Amino acid sequence: MLISYRQPLGYRRPLRVGRVHYCRLWLDHHTIRFRAEVRPVWQALSAAAAEICWVVQLTARSAADRFERGRPRPWSDERLFWVVLVVAVGAVAAASLLGVALAEWVASGSGDVLPAAGGALMVGAALFALMYLVFAAKEQEPRTEER
């Protein structure tokens, strides 16, 4: 296709361009007013989207930092022994309660499930607390002196 589009006045020599390039130039020429009207709206939407992305990134970083600060430090052996001892005594109490509840449940009607479920929740809470203490503890980082 031969076009003499957007060339300086005076001698215009035809350019050889392909069909796709010609259609793109034609579309650009005929939609310039529409693009000029849409550009401010698009810029406002783009700025709002960039602001939202920035807020999401900032919030994610802040949440990660708060989570990192919230992790417990490792305990000494004596403190960990006492905590494990208290959890063990609580687990034995919960297991005995669960045993009594199950014995009464077997002897009673089939609709009485509440005591057994309560005992199971107590055992689960004890195990969850123990797992949190064991696996969530982070090691203390050595302090580096800043100059």
84 and 50 fall within a common domain: no
Q: Nearest Cα to 97, choosing from 70, 122, 124, 80? A: 122
Other CB atoms closer than 10 Å to residue 119's CB: what's the count?
A: 20
61 and 8 fall within a common domain: yes
39 and 7 fall within a common domain: yes
Given 52, 67, 82, the domain boundary residue is 67
Is 27 part of a structural domain of the chain? yes
127 and 87 fall within a common domain: yes
21 and 45 fall within a common domain: yes
Is 44 part of a structural domain of the chain? yes
Q: Say what the pLDDT of residue 54 is.
A: 94
At 51-63, the pLDDT tens digits run 999 999 999 999 9
98 and 52 fall within a common domain: no
Low-confidence spans in the chain with pLDDT less than 50? 1-2, 147
How would you class 126 by CB atoms within 10 Å of its CB: exposed for 0-12, middle for 13-18, buried for 19 or more?
Answer: buried
Given 51, 67, 83, the domain boundary residue is 67
For residue 16, what are the contacts with CB-CB under 8 A and spacing of at least 6?
Answer: 1, 2
Is 40 part of a structural domain of the chain? yes
User: What's the CA gap between 93 and 82, in Å, rounded?
Assistant: 16
Give the position of tokens 């077997």: 106
Domain extent for 115: 72-135
At 8-28, the pLDDT tens digits run 556 655 667 778 878 888 888
Is 144 part of a structural domain of the chain? no
Is 37 part of a structural domain of the chain? yes
59 and 82 fall within a common domain: no
Tokens describing residue 54: 């920035």
Whether the model pTM is above 0.85: no
Q: Say what the pLDDT of residue 94 is.
A: 77
Q: Say what the pLDDT of residue 116 is.
A: 62
Residue 124 corresponds to which amino acid? G
SS (H, E, C) 8-23: CCCCCCCEECCHHHHH
Is 79 part of a structural domain of the chain? yes
Given 48, 67, 86, the domain boundary residue is 67
Domains identified in the chain, total number? 2
